[in-house]
Copies of this chain bind each other. A is one copy, B any other.
Amino acid sequence: MAGSTFGTILRASAWGESHGKGIGVVVDGCPAGLPLDEADIQAYLNRRKPGQSKFTTARQEGDVVEILSGVFEGRTTGTPIALEVRNTDQRSHDYGNIMDVYRPGHADYTFDGKYGFRDYRGGGRSSGRETTARVAAGAIACKFLRTLGITVRAYTRSVGSIEIDYGSFRMEEMWNNRLYMPDAKAARKAEAYLEEMMARKDSCGGVVECVIHGMPVGVGEPVFDKLDACLAKAMLSIGAVKGFEIGDGFEASRSLGSVNNDGFRMSGETEDKGLLFTDRIVKSSNHSGGTLGGISDGSDIVMRAAFKPTPSIAQGQHTVTRNGQETDIEIKGRHDPIIVPRAVVVVEAMAALTAADLLLQSMTSRLDRIQEFFGR
């Protein structure tokens, strides 16, 4: 079975291995007429590039994207957009020791079980490098959403147990530290904590938070293809993610109905939201995180993804070989002590792909609007 395509109307079909010839993605279903060039995509790829700080691997991947199809005279044509990033740094000898040994926390063992053998060079298809394709596709989704006034913003909410303080939250601050934390003080503490991790040859995890702003009311399908269900799948499809929350998430399970319900009220403004539902109804709080019954309610869509610690650590770990011998392994080479900072843009990309796909799906929900669309 396939599994390498994401989305229904806007579809991203990804390919590529860590140490193969490259990574790529075919984005089908992008509407025609969107201005797009390689710089639009490169800007997103640069945010996930390694080698930006002492907390990310020194490996210089380059990650230069090329658009191979679907764009003509600076605009998308409505046909598939093929994006490709050729691999340049393929020092596969760094990874030789994992050919016959199963790295704890990695997919080596399950790939062997599923496929009978595997491309062992740097994790092959299961390497975090596959997220390059997600980010490239997500950059297109983001640009599309912006033409409709919708923005997607992710940032680091916590590193280990160090959380940002919403009292001192400043979104722009995320660009001032290498951890993409929108709170300068928390960022400093987190950096110190990461230094400690590196000294101990250990690694840690964290949480990325993501907000979609400007989504019209009515996006998401009731029952199985709820907006939050699709976002959950998008987030858990990212390699190291182990948990997902929308709105208050697990905290809601400890709350009360009288607190958790978001009341409705009329906004004082006369401004027309001008979308699927044109009125001035707003929620007085947003515990739900922007959805009701799986459908966007016009308020910010707020979600979180929990990342496990980087599995590659330089400490010795117990494991076995392909042939069933117990052994120990120390993962050599360049590895980030934390995945989170580089994953911020991946979260943004996956959220944007999901939001754009469901937004397009929502266009067929009402006969009156379809008749209007076709001039009848």
Contacts and interface: CB of A to CB of B under 8 A. Distances in A.
Interface string A64-92: 00111110100111111110100000000
A190 interface: no
Contact of A294 (B107, B109, B369): B107
Nearest to A319: B264
A197 interface: yes
A221 B202 CA distance: 29
A66 B217 CA distance: 33
Contacts of A109: 217, 264, 281, 292, 297
Given A217-B110, A250-B242, A255-B204, A70 B15 contact: yes
A8 B3 CA distance: 10
A275 B375 contact: yes
A346 interface: no
A216 interface: yes
B4 A105 contact: no
A9 B102 CA distance: 29
Interface string A205-218: 11100000000111
A363 B368 contact: no
Contacts of A117: 32-33, 72, 75, 77
Contacts of A23: 69
Interface stretch (A45-53, A177-185, A283-291): A283-291
A276 to B, nearest CB: 5
B250 A306 contact: yes
A71 to B, nearest CB: 9
A293 interface: yes
Contacts of A294: 107, 237, 239
Interface in A329-376: 360-371, 373-376
Contacts of A310: 257
Interface in A255-283: 255-266, 272, 274-281
Residue among A81, A113, A226, A247 with most chain B CB within 10 A = A113
Interface in A167-198: 197
A293 B206 CA distance: 18
Contacts of A3: 28-29, 221-226, 361
Interface in A300-320: 306-313, 315, 317-320
B13 A254 contact: no
A368 B217 contact: no
A106 interface: yes
A292 B82 CA distance: 25
Interface string A122-152: 0011100010000000000000100111000
Contacts of A203: 256-258
A315 B260 CA distance: 13
Contacts of A232: 229, 232-233, 235-236, 244
Interface in A230-248: 230-237, 239, 242-248
Given A113-B217, A236-B226, A363-B364, A4 B242 contact: no
25 contacts: A1-B364, A2-B9, A15-B69, A15-B82, A72-B118, A78-B114, A84-B84, A104-B262, A107-B292, A109-B217, A109-B281, A110-B291, A110-B292, A114-B295, A158-B253, A226-B237, A229-B233, A233-B233, A257-B309, A258-B315, A265-B320, A266-B326, A279-B324, A281-B320, A281-B324
